[in-house]
Amino acid sequence: MESRCLKCKGVLFKKVLLDDKGHTAIDMTTPAKLEREENDNFFRCQSCGAKNIVINAGGSDGLPQIRIVRFEDKG
C-alpha cells in the first residue's frame, strides 16, 4: 500500500497494515519526513517537489490519522 503525490502520483511513502480492521501506519523503512512551514504540515514529493498538505483527522473508530488534502507546487 502506498500514499501518492496528488500532483504527479509519485510515491510519498509506503503504508503497512497494522491489523485485520484496516488500520495502517507509515512504513518506517520509507524515507518520508513530515515537514512544517507556517501553518502547514506536509510531505514533500521526492519526484516533483510538490508539498502534499496533510491535516490531522479522526477516524470513525476515534483513532488519529492524517489525511492528504491538497498539494502546492514547489516555489
Which neighbouring-strand residues pair with 43?
Answer: 34, 52
Contact 23, 31 (CB under 8 A): no
pTM over 0.75: yes
CA 51 vs. chain centroid, Å, equals 10
pLDDT of residue 57: 65
Contact 50, 73 (CB under 8 A): yes
d(CA 55, CA 75): 21
Tens digits of pLDDT across the chain (75 residues): 899 999 999 999 998 888 888 788 888 887 778 899 988 899 999 999 999 999 876 666 666 677 889 898 865
Domain locations in the chain as residue ranges = 2-72
